[in-house]
């Protein structure tokens, strides 16, 4: 090697070393220093244009739902599933007996049975990780699946928000460094919709108009004085979007009474009504809807089935079963299933062993995320866990991989690079889509 070549190689090594240190300083340790320059232009794609994520806060027990194992006994503390397994519409794939309706339409699903992560088995940390695909750092606030989808796809309708959260506001579901423009519109009342978009009865149309004129003058002047401040600009854009939502067709989606009573009854209780609303929101043009299963623990302990919570878990599973069946068949009837990816997820699973009270603890080393529709290669279970469902033994799937699969199904490049100011941040943390899930 000549002197010039040696110098070039040395400079190259120095660049790579410094780039690696820079990545570590940004909280991106473990990412190749050249990963930002290796954005893949081609990637596998599904047909989805929208996503409905059903969030089962607390941790759905995979061995008691979508990945049943040998029958255990919570009273005698024998490890295993709490309920017998039943056959499904997919050959050699079983689910628990309380998912009877879902079993009959499992050919519309892809079960990712070997999802896992190494985040501490604590609800907040795991929930944040499953929503953002990243460990928190002191330098970057990462965006959620919903916000990235909103930023990448935008709204599919005029005066329609791209991202709606049916549940309480939470920064884990937020836009992170993408800014307020890509935040969610949230609600907790399926009938009334977002409270902030409904004018109080005592405020007349004329009074509302006067208020908006006054606010417009204040906004215009303040924004002009801070023209270079991106945060102020994003916030002001969000205000403008709020006015558009309140005065447009968006609020019509919350008129569930417009649906036949037989259909509403078919969806079941409050969670089911949220799922029906999710379909109506997708029809209106919303790109990403997250539906929380339980608010204020309306269903006892929710999916966090420690101790005695296990005793009533079958009620939750039956409610989930009814809502999922109604949602999938309703999307299909409205010719929306191929265009809509349905995701059933929680922050972790639960171990096959029973605790002292007959319930289950937290378990992130193996659990299931169920996908439906979205133009995927349906009617299969991907990945195999061991005899008790504790560890993956074939095709382990990381959370970044699950994110890459969801993004690819939505036509979003999972290796695309976003930017937090001047800092490049790949959409996923080196996640790869699960190829078996695509046609």
pLDDT value for 380: 98
pLDDT value for 39: 75
CA–CA separation, 154 vs 97, rounded Å? 40
Locate 38 and state its tokens.
């290796």
pLDDT value for 36: 46
pLDDT value for 148: 98
Contacts by residues 182-190 (CB-CB < 8 Å, ≥ 24 positions apart):
182/143, 182/147, 182/148, 182/150, 182/151, 183/147, 183/238, 184/146, 184/147, 184/150, 184/290, 185/161, 185/245, 187/254, 188/295, 190/166, 190/254, 190/256, 190/270, 190/273, 190/274, 190/277
SS3 45: coil
CA–CA separation, 411 vs 104, rounded Å? 29
The predicted model scores a pTM of: 0.84
CA–CA separation, 172 vs 167, rounded Å? 12
**44-198+249-437 CATH fold:** Alkaline Phosphatase, subunit A (3.40.720)
- Write phi, then psi, for 275 (nearest 5 degrees): -70, -40
pLDDT value for 249: 77
CA–CA separation, 315 vs 299, rounded Å? 8
CA–CA separation, 213 vs 220, rounded Å? 11
pLDDT value for 192: 78
pLDDT along the chain (439 residues), means of 10: 45 45 41 51 90 97 98 94 98 98 98 97 95 92 98 91 94 94 91 66 62 65 69 61 61 92 96 96 96 70 86 93 98 98 98 93 98 97 98 98 98 95 94 95
Locate 262 and state its tokens.
């037989």
pLDDT value for 226: 73
pLDDT value for 221: 66
């Amino acid at each position: 090697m000549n002197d010039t070549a040696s110098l070039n190689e040395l400079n190259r090594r120095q660049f790579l070393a410094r780039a690696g240190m820079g990545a570590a300083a940004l909280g991106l340790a473990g990412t190749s220093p050249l990963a930002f320059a290796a954005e893949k232009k081609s990637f596998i794609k599904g047909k989805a244009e929208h996503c409905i994520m059903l969030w089962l806060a607390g941790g759905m027990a995979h061995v008691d739902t979508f990945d049943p194992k040998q029958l255990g006994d919570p009273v005698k503390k024998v490890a295993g599933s709490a309920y017998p397994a039943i056959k499904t519409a997919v050959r050699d794939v079983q689910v628990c007996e309380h998912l009877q309706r879902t079993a009959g339409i499992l050919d519309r699903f892809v079960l990712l049975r070997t999802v896992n992560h190494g985040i501490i088995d604590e609800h907040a940390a795991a929930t944040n990780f499953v929503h953002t695909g990243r460990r928190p750092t002191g330098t970057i606030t990462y965006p959620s699946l919903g916000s990235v989808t909103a930023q990448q796809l935008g709204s599919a309708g005029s005066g329609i928000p791209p991202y709606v959260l049916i549940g309480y506001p939470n920064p884990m579901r937020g836009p992170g460094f993408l800014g307020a423009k890509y935040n969610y519109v949230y609600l907790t009342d399926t009938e009334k919709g977002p409270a902030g978009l409904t004018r109080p009865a005592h405020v007349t149309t004329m009074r509302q108009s006067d208020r908006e004129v006054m606010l417009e003058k204040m906004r215009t002047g303040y924004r002009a004085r801070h023209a270079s401040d991106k945060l102020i600009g994003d916030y002001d854009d969000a205000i403008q979007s709020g006015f558009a939502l309140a005065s447009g067709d968006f609020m019509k989606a919350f008129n569930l009474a417009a649906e036949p009573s037989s259909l509403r009854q078919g969806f079941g209780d409050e969670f089911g009504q949220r799922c029906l609303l999710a379909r109506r929101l997708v029809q209106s043009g919303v790109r990403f809807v997250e539906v929380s299963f339980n608010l204020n623990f309306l269903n006892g302990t929710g999916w966090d089935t420690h101790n005695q919570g296990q005793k009533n878990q079958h009620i939750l599973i039956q409610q989930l079963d009814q809502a999922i069946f109604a949602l999938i068949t309703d999307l299909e009837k409205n010719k929306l299933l191929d265009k809509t990816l349905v995701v059933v997820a929680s922050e972790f699973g639960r171990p096959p062993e029973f605790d002292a009270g007959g319930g289950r603890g937290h378990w992130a080393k193996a659990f299931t995320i169920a996908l439906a529709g979205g133009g995927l290669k349906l009617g299969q279970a991907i990945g195999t866990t061991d005899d008790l469902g504790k560890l993956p033994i074939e095709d382990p799937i990381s959370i970044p991989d699950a994110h890459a699969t969801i993004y690819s199904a939505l036509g979003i490049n999972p290796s695309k690079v976003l930017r937090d100011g001047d800092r490049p941040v790949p959409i996923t943390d080196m996640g790869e889509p699960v190829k078996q899930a695509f046609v």
